[in-house]
Chains A and B, each alone.
With several copies, the nearest count.
Chain A
Amino acid sequence: MIELLYFAWVRERIGVDGEILPLPQGIATVSSLLDWLAGRSAGHAAALADRNAIRVAVDQVFAGFDAAVAAGAEVAIFPPVTGG
């Protein structure tokens, strides 16, 4: 299983705060995870359409699209941060 968390407009477009899903065979990077998620619903597709506007944290640490993901990870998906 993999735990997914969504924030800001990524959350709004997907329609849920997060989800826990079985990680399919062959998905081992953030990039392939996003490709797979984009196919799950129209909302997922809309949220993830512009990859330049997507940032990711794996296990609470910012990660690039080539970062590894594995079962048991917490992967958060969100727009560029705007705090401060």
Chain B
Amino acid sequence: MIAVAVQSTPIDAAVAVAPLTAERSDVGAVVTFTGFVRDDNGLTALTLEHYPAMTECALATIAAQAAARWPLSGGVIVHRVGRMVPGEAIVLVAVASSHRSAAFQAAEFLMDWLKTKAPFWKAEERAGGVTWVAAKASDDTAADRWNDRRGESVFELRPAV
């Protein structure tokens, strides 16, 4: 019910979001999040590496969690991979629901979990060279907001040291 896609071509937001409301009159709210490459500190390009055998299943599992937690009438996750330049979209998440609160929460949940529980890695290109982006503690904190028994049993990224 939440469609997922991983692609190396540019994301077309209008095309991705249109199916959520096409031919329907029971949808009250659509929330869309789009993440873009920023030219922070002279960044010239961003490359998204991923783990192809795992990625779509990880996205589908995250999507299923959202669908289980909120009454959604539809949704879509599109994640770009490969090399892109500032201004291009990296990721698009959109969810449709009867009510705005569910749509906002589900979209924010999807982004928080995508950032911490899907096998993507960002490498930044600048004049000085290429560096891998470090995971942010703030992203872990954001993702942990949504933890419950169900969530923790499905995903446990931290090694049990």
Task: Say yes or no: is A70 at the interface (Cβ < 8 Å to chain B).
Answer: no
Q: Which one of B90, B114, B123, B159 contacts A51 once the chains associate, using CB atoms below 8 Å?
A: B159
Separation in Å of the B102 CB from the closest CB of chain A? Answer: 16
Chain B residues near A30: list those with CB within 8 A.
159
A2-10, A20-28, A36-44 - the one binding chain B: A2-10
CA distance A76 to B51 in the complex (A): 9
- A84 vs B41: C-alpha distance when bound (angstroms): 20
Interface size of B in residues (CB-CB distance below 8 Å): 36
Chain A residues within 8 Å of B, Cβ to Cβ: 5, 7-9, 30, 51-52, 54-57, 60-62, 64-66, 74, 76, 78-84
- Rounded to whole angstroms, the CA-CA distance of A42 and B57 in the bound complex is 34
Complex Cα distance A84/B46, Å? 12
Residue in A closest to B53 when the chains form the complex, CB atoms: A60
Closest A residue to B133 using CB positions:
A82
User: Quick one: which of B48, B54, B79, B90 contacts A57, CB cutoff 8 A?
Assistant: B54
A81 and B132 within 8 A (CB):
no
B115 in contact with A84 (CB, 8 Å): yes
Q: B51 touching A80 by the CB < 8 A rule?
A: no
- In the complex formed, the residue of B with least CB distance to A11 is B49
Sampled A-B contacts (12; CB under 8 Å) = A8-B132, A55-B159, A57-B51, A57-B119, A60-B54, A79-B134, A81-B119, A81-B120, A83-B50, A84-B91, A84-B116, A84-B139
Over the window 131-148 of chain B, the binary record of Cβ atoms lying under 8 Å from chain A Cβ atoms (1 yes, 0 no) is 011111001000000000
Contacts of A54 in B (CB 8 A): 159
